[in-house]
Homo-oligomer: A and B are copies of this chain.
Amino acid sequence: MSTTSGAPSGASSGAQSGAPPAASQRAAQKARTRRALLDAGLALLEHQSLSSLGLREIARAVGVSPTAFYRHFHDVADLGVALVEESLDGLRELIRAGLAEYGADADRIDHAVDALAAHVRAHPEHVRFLVRERHGGVAPVRQAIGAQLDGFAEEVAGVLERDEISRGWTRDDLRMLGETYVDHMVMTASAFLEAAQGEGPDEEHVARTARRQLRLISLGRRHWMSETG
Protein backbone atom coordinates (compact mmCIF):
# COMPACT_ATOMS: atom_id res chain seq x y z
CA MET A 1 0.00 0.00 0.00
CA SER A 2 2.86 2.24 0.79
CA THR A 3 4.97 1.62 -2.24
CA THR A 4 3.31 -0.22 -5.08
CA SER A 5 -0.16 -0.89 -6.29
CA GLY A 6 -0.43 -4.63 -6.38
CA ALA A 7 1.62 -5.95 -3.53
CA PRO A 8 2.51 -9.63 -3.92
CA SER A 9 -0.26 -10.86 -1.70
CA GLY A 10 1.07 -14.18 -0.52
CA ALA A 11 -1.24 -16.66 -2.22
CA SER A 12 0.45 -20.00 -2.62
CA SER A 13 3.12 -21.31 -0.30
CA GLY A 14 3.47 -19.60 3.06
CA ALA A 15 6.10 -17.05 2.24
CA GLN A 16 6.67 -15.95 5.81
CA SER A 17 10.44 -16.12 6.19
CA GLY A 18 12.31 -12.86 5.62
CA ALA A 19 13.50 -12.49 2.07
CA PRO A 20 11.55 -13.66 -0.99
CA PRO A 21 12.66 -17.32 -1.13
CA ALA A 22 11.02 -18.48 -4.30
CA ALA A 23 7.59 -16.97 -4.70
CA SER A 24 5.41 -17.95 -7.56
CA GLN A 25 8.04 -17.59 -10.28
CA ARG A 26 5.73 -15.02 -11.72
CA ALA A 27 6.20 -12.69 -8.78
CA ALA A 28 9.87 -13.52 -9.04
CA GLN A 29 10.06 -12.08 -12.51
CA LYS A 30 8.10 -9.09 -11.35
CA ALA A 31 10.54 -8.58 -8.54
CA ARG A 32 13.41 -8.81 -10.98
CA THR A 33 11.96 -6.09 -13.16
CA ARG A 34 11.29 -3.98 -10.13
CA ARG A 35 14.87 -4.35 -9.05
CA ALA A 36 16.04 -3.41 -12.52
CA LEU A 37 13.92 -0.27 -12.42
CA LEU A 38 15.30 0.69 -9.03
CA ASP A 39 18.87 0.06 -10.11
CA ALA A 40 18.48 1.92 -13.37
CA GLY A 41 16.89 4.85 -11.60
CA LEU A 42 19.64 4.98 -9.05
CA ALA A 43 22.27 4.82 -11.77
CA LEU A 44 20.66 7.60 -13.75
CA LEU A 45 20.60 9.77 -10.65
CA GLU A 46 24.35 10.06 -10.67
CA HIS A 47 24.30 13.07 -12.98
CA GLN A 48 20.90 14.61 -12.25
CA SER A 49 18.38 14.91 -9.48
CA LEU A 50 15.17 13.05 -8.94
CA SER A 51 12.85 15.85 -9.98
CA SER A 52 14.32 15.78 -13.48
CA LEU A 53 14.37 12.03 -13.84
CA GLY A 54 11.85 10.86 -16.40
CA LEU A 55 9.66 7.81 -16.31
CA ARG A 56 10.54 6.93 -19.90
CA GLU A 57 14.19 7.44 -19.21
CA ILE A 58 14.18 4.73 -16.57
CA ALA A 59 12.09 2.34 -18.66
CA ARG A 60 14.39 2.83 -21.64
CA ALA A 61 17.47 2.10 -19.53
CA VAL A 62 15.94 -1.15 -18.31
CA GLY A 63 14.69 -2.14 -21.73
CA VAL A 64 10.97 -2.20 -20.99
CA SER A 65 8.10 -0.22 -22.36
CA PRO A 66 7.15 2.96 -20.51
CA THR A 67 3.78 1.59 -19.54
CA ALA A 68 5.40 -1.33 -17.74
CA PHE A 69 6.66 1.17 -15.23
CA TYR A 70 3.14 1.69 -13.91
CA ARG A 71 2.92 -1.95 -12.86
CA HIS A 72 5.50 -1.22 -10.20
CA PHE A 73 5.29 2.45 -9.23
CA HIS A 74 2.73 5.21 -9.55
CA ASP A 75 5.29 7.92 -9.93
CA VAL A 76 8.96 8.53 -10.23
CA ALA A 77 8.58 10.01 -6.76
CA ASP A 78 7.17 6.66 -5.67
CA LEU A 79 10.25 4.92 -6.94
CA GLY A 80 12.20 7.56 -5.05
CA VAL A 81 10.76 6.71 -1.65
CA ALA A 82 11.40 3.05 -2.34
CA LEU A 83 15.03 3.97 -2.96
CA VAL A 84 15.09 5.82 0.34
CA GLU A 85 14.20 2.75 2.36
CA GLU A 86 16.71 0.70 0.49
CA SER A 87 19.52 3.22 0.74
CA LEU A 88 19.04 3.78 4.44
CA ASP A 89 18.92 0.11 5.32
CA GLY A 90 22.64 -0.08 4.68
CA LEU A 91 23.38 2.90 6.89
CA ARG A 92 21.09 1.65 9.64
CA GLU A 93 22.98 -1.60 9.77
CA LEU A 94 26.24 0.31 9.91
CA ILE A 95 24.99 2.43 12.76
CA ARG A 96 23.70 -0.47 14.83
CA ALA A 97 26.82 -2.52 14.32
CA GLY A 98 29.67 -0.10 14.79
CA LEU A 99 28.04 3.03 16.09
CA ALA A 100 27.26 1.75 19.51
CA GLU A 101 30.92 2.60 19.72
CA TYR A 102 30.56 5.93 17.93
CA GLY A 103 31.24 7.54 21.27
CA ALA A 104 34.28 8.95 22.88
CA ASP A 105 37.52 7.01 22.74
CA ALA A 106 40.01 7.62 19.96
CA ASP A 107 39.98 4.03 18.77
CA ARG A 108 36.23 4.02 18.44
CA ILE A 109 36.29 7.24 16.51
CA ASP A 110 38.88 5.86 14.13
CA HIS A 111 36.87 2.72 13.62
CA ALA A 112 33.62 4.57 13.02
CA VAL A 113 35.16 6.88 10.43
CA ASP A 114 36.79 3.98 8.66
CA ALA A 115 33.53 2.07 8.61
CA LEU A 116 31.76 5.05 7.12
CA ALA A 117 34.43 5.46 4.48
CA ALA A 118 34.13 1.81 3.58
CA HIS A 119 30.40 2.10 3.30
CA VAL A 120 30.62 5.07 0.98
CA ARG A 121 33.19 3.23 -1.11
CA ALA A 122 30.92 0.21 -1.33
CA HIS A 123 27.64 2.00 -2.08
CA PRO A 124 28.42 5.37 -3.65
CA GLU A 125 25.14 5.68 -5.56
CA HIS A 126 23.03 5.12 -2.49
CA VAL A 127 24.94 7.70 -0.50
CA ARG A 128 24.82 10.17 -3.35
CA PHE A 129 21.10 9.68 -3.65
CA LEU A 130 20.49 10.30 0.03
CA VAL A 131 22.68 13.37 0.26
CA ARG A 132 21.28 14.87 -2.91
CA GLU A 133 17.61 14.27 -2.25
CA ARG A 134 17.74 15.07 1.44
CA HIS A 135 17.04 18.67 0.47
CA GLY A 136 15.88 17.91 -3.05
CA GLY A 137 12.85 19.10 -4.96
CA VAL A 138 10.61 16.09 -4.43
CA ALA A 139 8.71 16.56 -1.19
CA PRO A 140 7.76 12.95 -0.35
CA VAL A 141 11.33 11.75 -0.80
CA ARG A 142 12.73 14.65 1.17
CA GLN A 143 10.37 13.97 4.04
CA ALA A 144 11.05 10.25 3.98
CA ILE A 145 14.77 10.83 4.31
CA GLY A 146 14.24 13.43 7.00
CA ALA A 147 12.05 11.12 9.02
CA GLN A 148 14.52 8.25 8.77
CA LEU A 149 17.45 10.44 9.80
CA ASP A 150 15.34 11.64 12.68
CA GLY A 151 14.93 8.05 13.71
CA PHE A 152 18.67 7.60 13.51
CA ALA A 153 19.23 10.57 15.79
CA GLU A 154 16.78 9.16 18.29
CA GLU A 155 18.47 5.78 18.14
CA VAL A 156 21.91 7.28 18.63
CA ALA A 157 20.60 9.28 21.56
CA GLY A 158 19.35 6.06 23.08
CA VAL A 159 22.76 4.46 22.79
CA LEU A 160 24.50 7.49 24.20
CA GLU A 161 22.18 7.42 27.18
CA ARG A 162 23.72 4.15 28.29
CA ASP A 163 27.13 5.79 28.57
CA GLU A 164 28.72 6.70 31.85
CA ILE A 165 29.61 10.13 30.52
CA SER A 166 25.95 10.90 29.97
CA ARG A 167 25.13 10.78 33.67
CA GLY A 168 22.93 13.76 34.41
CA TRP A 169 22.22 14.64 30.79
CA THR A 170 18.76 15.75 29.89
CA ARG A 171 16.93 13.55 27.43
CA ASP A 172 16.68 16.68 25.33
CA ASP A 173 20.42 17.26 25.42
CA LEU A 174 21.05 13.67 24.41
CA ARG A 175 18.73 14.13 21.49
CA MET A 176 20.63 17.25 20.50
CA LEU A 177 23.89 15.31 20.63
CA GLY A 178 22.44 12.52 18.55
CA GLU A 179 21.40 14.98 15.88
CA THR A 180 24.87 16.43 15.91
CA TYR A 181 26.38 13.02 15.30
CA VAL A 182 23.94 12.16 12.54
CA ASP A 183 24.43 15.49 10.81
CA HIS A 184 28.15 15.02 11.03
CA MET A 185 27.86 11.56 9.58
CA VAL A 186 25.91 12.85 6.60
CA MET A 187 28.31 15.69 5.96
CA THR A 188 31.26 13.35 6.21
CA ALA A 189 29.66 10.81 3.92
CA SER A 190 29.13 13.55 1.38
CA ALA A 191 32.73 14.63 1.69
CA PHE A 192 33.92 11.05 1.17
CA LEU A 193 31.78 10.89 -1.91
CA GLU A 194 33.27 14.05 -3.38
CA ALA A 195 36.71 12.74 -2.59
CA ALA A 196 35.98 9.50 -4.39
CA GLN A 197 35.17 11.30 -7.62
CA GLY A 198 37.99 13.83 -7.63
CA GLU A 199 36.03 16.84 -6.39
CA GLY A 200 37.51 18.31 -3.25
CA PRO A 201 40.22 16.89 -0.98
CA ASP A 202 41.30 13.27 -1.00
CA GLU A 203 39.81 10.58 1.19
CA GLU A 204 42.56 10.56 3.80
CA HIS A 205 42.17 14.28 4.38
CA VAL A 206 38.43 13.93 4.79
CA ALA A 207 38.95 11.13 7.28
CA ARG A 208 41.47 13.22 9.24
CA THR A 209 39.09 16.14 9.45
CA ALA A 210 36.17 13.93 10.43
CA ARG A 211 38.18 12.31 13.19
CA ARG A 212 39.23 15.62 14.64
CA GLN A 213 35.73 16.98 14.48
CA LEU A 214 34.46 13.96 16.35
CA ARG A 215 37.21 14.42 18.90
CA LEU A 216 36.13 18.02 19.29
CA ILE A 217 32.56 16.97 19.94
CA SER A 218 33.67 14.31 22.38
CA LEU A 219 35.63 16.89 24.33
CA GLY A 220 32.66 19.19 24.49
CA ARG A 221 30.59 16.26 25.61
CA ARG A 222 32.93 15.44 28.47
CA HIS A 223 32.81 18.98 29.82
CA TRP A 224 29.14 19.64 29.15
CA MET A 225 27.83 19.51 32.70
CA SER A 226 30.50 21.74 34.20
CA GLU A 227 29.01 24.79 32.53
CA THR A 228 25.39 23.86 32.24
CA GLY A 229 24.44 22.35 35.58
Residues of A within 8 A of B (CB): 45, 47-52, 131-132, 134-137, 139, 143, 146, 173, 176-177, 179-180, 183-184, 187, 190, 194, 199-200, 209, 212-213, 215-224, 227-228
A138 to chain B, nearest CB (A): 8
A213 CB to nearest B CB, Å:
5
Query: Nearest chain B CB to A121's CB is how many angstroms away?
Result: 18
Which of chain B's residues have a CB closer than 8 A to the CB of A216? 176-177, 180, 217, 220-221, 224
Task: Give the distance to chain B from A102, nearest Cβ to Cβ, in Å.
Answer: 16
A36 to chain B, nearest CB (A): 22
Which 4 pairs show the lowest CB-CB distances between chains A and B? A220-B220, A52-B52, A49-B137, A219-B220
Complex-state Cα separation, A179 to B190, whole angstroms: 14
Within the complex, the shortest CB–CB distance from A116 to chain B, in Å, comes to 16
Closest residue of B by beta carbon distance from A48: B137
Nearest chain B CB to A197's CB is how many angstroms away?
A: 10
> CB-CB < 8 A to A217: which residues of B?
216-217, 220
Q: How far is the CA of A223 from the CA of B221 in the complex (A)?
A: 11
> Which one of B47, B135, B180 contacts A190 once the chains associate, using CB atoms below 8 Å?
B135
Q: How far is the CA of A103 from the CA of B205 in the complex (A)?
A: 25
Contacts of A48 in B (CB 8 A): 51-52, 137
Contact B132 A135 (CB under 8 A): yes
Does A213 contact B176, Cβ atoms closer than 8 Å? yes
